[in-house]
Structure 1
Amino acid sequence: MVDIASRVWNHKWKIDPIVRSLIDTDFYKLLMCQSVFRNKPETQVTFSLINRSKHIPLADLIDEGELREQLDHIRSLSLSRGESTWLRGNTFYGKRQMFRPDFMEWFEGLRLPPYHLERKGDQYELTFEGSWPEVMLWEIPALAVLMELRSRAVLDRMGRFELQVLYARGMTRVWEKIEALREVPDLSIADFGTRRRHSFLWQDWCVQAMQEGLGDAFTGTSNCKIAMSREVEAIGTNAHELPMVYAALAKDDAALAQAPYDVLQDWHDEHEGNLRIILPDTYGTKGFLDNAPDWLAGWTGIRVDSGDPAVAAQTAIDWWKSRGEDPSEKRVIFSDGLDVAKIKELHQQFAGKVKASFGWGTLLTNDFRGLVPDDALAPFSLVCKAVKANGSPTVKLSDNPNKAMGPQSEIDRYKRVFGVGDQAAQKVIV
């Protein structure tokens, strides 16, 4: 097992680059990329870094030259033969050849497009522009780089023994969480922690700890690189990016109202009925389900990623019942800011009502809260989102208004079109 503290103490970035592979990314990103490659390959998008935690002065903490080195390194990466073989030949969700030959040929020749980086006060402006299938693959590595460089800035001030103690305490915390989760009967939980992880080595350690500590209750990881190397399932379906871009491309209000369902129709066609998990909260869960076509009720389940998770799950249960479906046969994946107490609470609340699963993210792979002075390693909310599509702004409403994004005039329009009324604000943890 890697001695992480010693690697941190001795590391040179060329030995431990933050992102070491194009598949050091979330599985859903590759699934979405294939769908975009097939359905919207000419769409031009802009992605932008958004630091929701303004109190974290990233430009003061992170050296611009080092940031550019890491981003330039990512642009030099391409698929290895082994990675290509894994993607082409592995079975994902019971399906062989999940990735089509035409997509794989394109992906094997890909280098990520240029980036634009500029300091603005104590923050960085980091944007990516170009064709949607290429630009979208910047999101996860860009976030991983910023998160880990911030961690390294804090760790660089620490001595060798201090680092050993820090990681011993961090490992103890993770293991105690795993021990607590062993008490949960019929648990189903996966690692969703790539984008805001402490580091690649730390995420890899957490996955190994979950494998040993939870056994069959641990269903896999969203990280393709780690899934391949640790021989666990790659987990993921789709994200808010798809409806956000489809909606931005809509020509009028009627097309806008239809856009989230067009996404899922294309998804259904792409995957021939597999991976049928709905992410309904981009423009409000209740309105999405109320207006959903009947064929969506037959899908496998939903993912809950904003607002009050219990309310969202109950809304889905009521919807399934109203459409003649048995909720106890449906999958509900909770994935928003989870930690052990909330996982146990939701599992107990919905046991027997639905098949509950959990995507455990930042508070698995980046929980060093309270372990260094001034809480300088506490996780924070950093995202990289599509902000324009063919020149039009994107919008996200969410079930939590604190996660909304887009020009206010467009937010107001989307609220009108999707019938979103008053919303209860929730604290954004990550």
Structure 2
Amino acid sequence: MDIATRVWNHKWKIDPIVRSLIDTDFYKLLMCQSVHRNHPATRVTFSLINRSTHVPLARLIDEGELREQLDHIRTLSLTRGESTWMRGNTFYGVRSIFRPQFMDWLEQLRLPPYHLERVGDQYELAFEGAWPEVMLWEIPALAVIMELRSRAVLHDMGRFEIQVLYARAMTRVWEKIERLRALDSLRIADFGTRRRHSFLWQDWCVQAMQEGLGSRFIGTSNCRIAKGRDLEAIGTNAHELPMVYAALADGDAALSRAPYDVLADWHEEHEGNLRVILPDTYGTQGFLDRAPDWLAGWTGIRIDSGDPAAGAETAIAWWKARGEDPRTKLVIFSDGLDEAKIAELHARFAGRVRVSFGWGTLLTNDFRGLVEDDRLAPFSLVCKAVAAEGRPTVKLSDNPRKAMGPEAEVERYKRVFGVGDQVEREVVV
């Protein structure tokens, strides 16, 4: 693929960024099925949050073009081939993991309206409605904003300049892959959809990983790419579930149970490698200290904030204390990874646990230092559930820089979940 020519051609015609409802992360579809079953009518609001306020999105991205892209997404529905892939494929060793009732609903779905407003140099973008519907806006909304920003920077570049830019970026990715080849028993997946440079670039990075790492590359979180490249679709669950369940809880006692209620519902639906705990929404140590014994029998834990090595050591100690053999357990690292950190964590934990990596933004959007003023460097953009049935959501995280929610509610959650002083860490996209 001549990616530079394809990018150059973006300048001269309308080119939809998101062309499929399955151009999303696999865990969104898994969570959507669970939400559709357990909370189909719950009203939830999602909102765009630009943590990197130095990136003036509203000055870079034309509002009309943004609306055009979002409106196009609202025209999309599952194609017959996509529905067949979801209904009949084997995921995580389970055939037909998506129930017929859910698929019947999803095949009729069109994404609901959005609210877009310019506020200074940023955009206010929000989605409000039934939880199973609005939750599917998150990934395509992020992908559109990220790629429109990339296109804005590339717009004034000449054809040969774009060719050289992508040659340098390709070389960077390939050199990372070559360094990862030295890691025996490596298991790594692409987790880079939400903050990718573009769809074409993510697809190229996935193909490079396939060729460069062979069987050590275990799949991608992006369903469209997984389907098109005949790869495993990878993903389990995310912070969205405990954040909404907690917001819906009445009283402190119900709030303290909410993260476990999420996993009890998940336990009823899934087995094996889909039983992976994401413990950091309200503090990993407290979550594990209060966890019911049945959770220790789950397959593994995903580490997504705080010091990843400390998080893994905490998980190992918890499994040992609960009579489990950590060597049989899976630890998935997925926060702020690049090849040096992957190598460091692999060296420390391989053989002690089953180690796996979900490599995100610094796989699919590492253009740092490749254009003037670093205008293509990745930045921290999220789209989060901010309210449920009119109640604000809260996230504490193991890294207080990722915390979100009204100050009074944050303090209440810290009290209920016993979260004390935390160490701030730089948020690596």
Shorter-chain TM-score tier: over 0.9
- For the structure 1 residues 422 and 72, does the alpha-carbon distance in structure 2 shift closer, same or farther, using more than 3 Å as the test? same
Give, in angstroms, the shift of residue 157 of structure 1. Answer: 1.2
Corresponding residue number in structure 1 for 2:191: 192
Percent sequence identity is: 81
Structure 2 gaps, min length 5: none
Corresponding residue number in structure 1 for 2:256: 257
Corresponding residue number in structure 2 for 1:122: 121
Q: Deviations over 1:286-331 (max 9, x none)?
A: 0000000000000000000000000000000000000000001100
Alignment of 1:302-321 (within 5 A): 302-321=301-320
Corresponding residue number in structure 1 for 2:280: 281
Q: Deviations over 1:84-115 (max 9, x none)?
A: 00000000000001100000000000000000
Amino acid at match of 1:316: A
Is residue 366 of structure 2 the alignment partner of residue 367 of structure 1?
A: yes
Whole-angstrom distance in 2 between the partners of 1:62 and 1:3: 25
Partner-residue secondary structure (3-state), 2:49: strand
Whole-angstrom distance in 1 between the partners of 2:423 and 2:415: 17
Amino acid at match of 2:85: W
Runs (4+) of structure 1 exceeding 3 A deviation are 12-16
Structure 1 gaps, min length 5: none
Amino acid at match of 1:390: E
Give, in angstroms, the shift of residue 16 of structure 1. Answer: 3.6
Whole-angstrom distance in 1 between the partners of 2:325 and 2:257: 26
Whole-angstrom distance in 1 between the partners of 2:146 and 2:14: 18
Alignment of 1:45-124 (within 5 A): 45-124=44-123
Corresponding residue number in structure 2 for 1:152: 151
Whole-angstrom distance in 2 between the partners of 1:284 and 1:179: 36
- Which has the higher mean CA deviation after the structures are superposed, 6-15 or 417-426? 6-15
Alignment of 1:36-51 (within 5 A): 36-51=35-50
Corresponding residue number in structure 2 for 1:141: 140
Give, in angstroms, the shift of residue 382 of structure 1. Answer: 0.2
Corresponding residue number in structure 2 for 1:349: 348
Amino acid at match of 2:42: T
- For the structure 1 residues 210 and 95, does the alpha-carbon distance in structure 2 shift closer, same or farther, using more than 3 Å as the test? same
- For the structure 1 residues 351 and 247, does the alpha-carbon distance in structure 2 shift closer, same or farther, using more than 3 Å as the test? same
Is residue 371 of structure 2 the alignment partner of residue 380 of structure 1?
A: no
Partner-residue secondary structure (3-state), 2:242: helix
Whole-angstrom distance in 2 between the partners of 1:157 and 1:133: 40
- For the structure 1 residues 404 and 313, does the alpha-carbon distance in structure 2 shift closer, same or farther, using more than 3 Å as the test? same
Q: Deviations over 1:344-396 (max 9, x none)?
A: 00000112111110000000000000000000000000000000000000000
Whole-angstrom distance in 2 between the partners of 1:272 and 1:233: 17
Q: Deviations over 1:407-428 (max 9, x none)?
A: 0000000000000000000001
Q: Deviations over 1:206-262 (max 9, x none)?
A: 000000000000000000000000000000000000000000000000000000000
Partner-residue secondary structure (3-state), 2:264: helix
Whole-angstrom distance in 1 between the partners of 2:13 and 2:332: 37
Whole-angstrom distance in 1 between the partners of 2:63 and 2:350: 49
Contact 1:78–1:108 (8 Å) recurs in 2? yes
Whole-angstrom distance in 2 between the partners of 1:195 and 1:232: 19
Give, in angstroms, the shift of residue 272 of structure 1. Answer: 4.8
Contact 1:335–1:358 (8 Å) recurs in 2? yes
Whole-angstrom distance in 2 between the partners of 1:60 and 1:283: 35
RMSD: 0.9
Give, in angstroms, the shift of residue 12 of structure 1. Answer: 5.6
Amino acid at match of 2:67: R
Give, in angstroms, the shift of residue 13 of structure 1. Answer: 8.1
Amino acid at match of 1:283: Y
Give, in angstroms, the shift of residue 17 of structure 1. Answer: 1.5
Partner-residue secondary structure (3-state), 1:282: coil
Give, in angstroms, the shift of residue 273 of structure 1. Answer: 5.6
Partner-residue secondary structure (3-state), 1:299: coil
Partner-residue secondary structure (3-state), 1:117: strand
- For the structure 1 residues 276 and 199, does the alpha-carbon distance in structure 2 shift closer, same or farther, using more than 3 Å as the test? same
Alignment of 1:382-421 (within 5 A): 382-421=381-420
Whole-angstrom distance in 1 between the partners of 2:79 and 2:30: 19
Q: Deviations over 1:105-151 (max 9, x none)?
A: 00000000000000000000000000000000000000000000000
Corresponding residue number in structure 2 for 1:298: 297
Amino acid at match of 1:86: W
Whole-angstrom distance in 1 between the partners of 2:290 and 2:423: 21
Whole-angstrom distance in 2 between the partners of 1:257 and 1:224: 34
Whole-angstrom distance in 2 between the partners of 1:55 and 1:274: 39
- For the structure 1 residues 363 and 245, does the alpha-carbon distance in structure 2 shift closer, same or farther, using more than 3 Å as the test? same
Partner-residue secondary structure (3-state), 2:274: coil
Whole-angstrom distance in 1 between the partners of 2:158 and 2:33: 45
Give, in angstroms, the shift of residue 14 of structure 1. Answer: 6.4
Aligned length: 429
Q: Deviations over 1:161-214 (max 9, x none)?
A: 000000000000000000000001100000000000000000000000000000
Amino acid at match of 1:244: M
Partner-residue secondary structure (3-state), 2:144: helix
Contact 2:273–2:300 (8 Å) recurs in 1? no
Partner-residue secondary structure (3-state), 1:352: coil
Whole-angstrom distance in 1 between the partners of 2:353 and 2:271: 24
Whole-angstrom distance in 1 between the partners of 2:281 and 2:307: 14
Contact 1:268–1:274 (8 Å) recurs in 2? no
Amino acid at match of 1:333: I
Whole-angstrom distance in 2 between the partners of 1:68 and 1:184: 45
Whole-angstrom distance in 1 between the partners of 2:7 and 2:339: 28
Corresponding residue number in structure 2 for 1:271: 270
Whole-angstrom distance in 2 between the partners of 1:60 and 1:15: 20
Amino acid at match of 2:95: R
